[in-house]
Structure formats: C-alpha cells, structure tokens
Structure 1
Amino acid sequence: MRHLRRVPQLGRPADQRKAMLRGLTTQLIREGRVTTTKARAKALRDEVERMITLAKEGSLSSRRRAIGYIYDKQLVHALFDKAQDRYGDRQGGYTRIVRTVPRRGDNAQMAIIELV
C-alpha cells in the first residue's frame, strides 16, 4: 500500500533520484525552462518551489541550505538576488507544467516545466 508515501520513486534508487532532481533543479533555475517527462516535472516542481521559497526568505541559513542543494554556487547567489523582486508578491506557484507530445520510442508523456 502507498499510505503516506509522498515521494515519487521515478524508477530509480534514492541516490540517483536525488542527484537527478538536483541536476534538473539547477538546470531549470539556470535556463528557466526544461523539457522532461511528466512524472519528473511533477517531482521537480516541489524541489524548485522549495528553493525559490528559501531565496525569498533570504536568510543566511536558507542560503546555506540552497548552496547545499543546487550544484552551482554563483547561480544560488543570483537566485537570492532576484527572487524577492520577481516572486515577492506570490505565495507559491512559481512553476508551470505544460504537457507536450509523447516521446518517440517509449511513448512516455512529456512536459515542459518553466518558471512563471
């Protein structure tokens, strides 16, 4: 049974899953848009919104948590500088997921996740 199992497994062991989500989070914050599968996009949404919320808070402790998660240190500093201006009046919902055509080969549902 899946009672209280909120973490999407994504068909990977825990260490690979965490590394994949960290890489996708870094890429999404850097580029603003990532094309991936729908399941990965939904899992990625939680992580990106957590990082943006930390950036809006702006404390030293939240900056250290973000540096520990995002692979690029300079990207973290840029995110913390711009987050309050860009998302200051928003109470969440910093990303948008748009479904696209299925992937050739395995027919996986694809989606574009982008920052609002």
Structure 2
Amino acid sequence: MNHRNKNNALKRKRGHRKSMLSNMASSLIKNKIIFTTLSKAKTLRKYIEPIITKSKIDNLSSRRNIFSYLRDKKAVSELFKDSFHKVRERPGGYTRILKNGHRLGDDATLSLIELVDFNKIYHSKKRVKITRRSKKLGKKEIINE
C-alpha cells in the first residue's frame, strides 16, 4: 500500500534524489530560471519553497540550516543578498512552472521553473488600462507603478 507516501521518488534512490534536488535548487537560485521535466519541477517546488521561506530570517542559524539543504556557498550568499528583497515581501508562491512541450526521445513533458519576482516580462514598469465609456470611444490611461 502507498498510504502517507507523498513524495515523488523520481525513480531514484534517496541519496541521488537529495543530491539532484539540491543541485537543481542552487541552480534555480543562481540563474533564476531552469528547464527540466514537469515531474522534477513539481518536486523541486516542494523542495525550494520552504528554503526560501527560511531565508527571510537573516541570521547565522538560518544560513547554516539552508546550507545543509543546498550545499553551495554561492547559492546561499545569493539567497541572502539585497536582490532577493522582493522575495522577502511575498507571503508565498515564490516559483512558477510553465509547460514547454514534449521531449523527442521519450515524450516527457518539458517545463521551465522560475522565480516569480525575477521575471521581467510580467513585471513591466508601465501598464495600460483601457476603460470604455461607450462602444465607439475608448479611453486609455497609463498607470506608472
């Protein structure tokens, strides 16, 4: 029976899975976006979101705790830099998974996982809001944020 067994094993043993998720998490923190399969991306989301939540408290204990998960000094120092100030304000949901097609060899679903606050397309400076008063006239307002 498979009761209370919620982790995705990804057809790997525990040590290999732990190393793979650690490497993928540190790559995601350094590069802000990585391409992988959908099942690995969903598992990585469960792995990295608590790590980012723990990084909101900047003290030695949390740095050491996060280093035990990531095992990469550059990724840990990147996580505590000022460039991650947007992440500290967000209450949760730090990652986004977008499906990207299928791999040719085995037809695996490819996807990209990215950190939400570092996408420049979704967070542009100007937003155009169109309000219509009648069918013929449309009024455009530019909102600067």
TM-score normalised to the size of structure 1? 0.92
* Residue 9 (structure 2) pairs with residue 13 (structure 1): no
Between structures 1 and 2, the one with greater helix share = 1
Letter of the 1:79 partner, please give it.
L
Cα deviations by residue, 1:43-90 (Å, 9 ceiling, x for unpaired): 000111121111112232111011122132132122112376121221
Letter of the 1:55 partner, please give it.
S
Between structures 1 and 2, the one with greater strand share = 2
Letter of the 1:4 partner, please give it.
R
Higher-Rg structure is 2
- Unaligned ranges ≥5, structure 2: 117-145
* Residue 60 (structure 2) pairs with residue 60 (structure 1): yes
Preserved contact between residue 38 and residue 109 of structure 1 (Cα < 8 Å):
yes
| Change in 2 beyond 3 A, CA 1:39/1:2 | same
Match of 1:31 in 2: 31
Runs of 4+ in structure 1 deviating by more than 6 angstroms, as ranges, are none
- Unaligned ranges ≥5, structure 1: none
Q: How many residues align?
A: 116
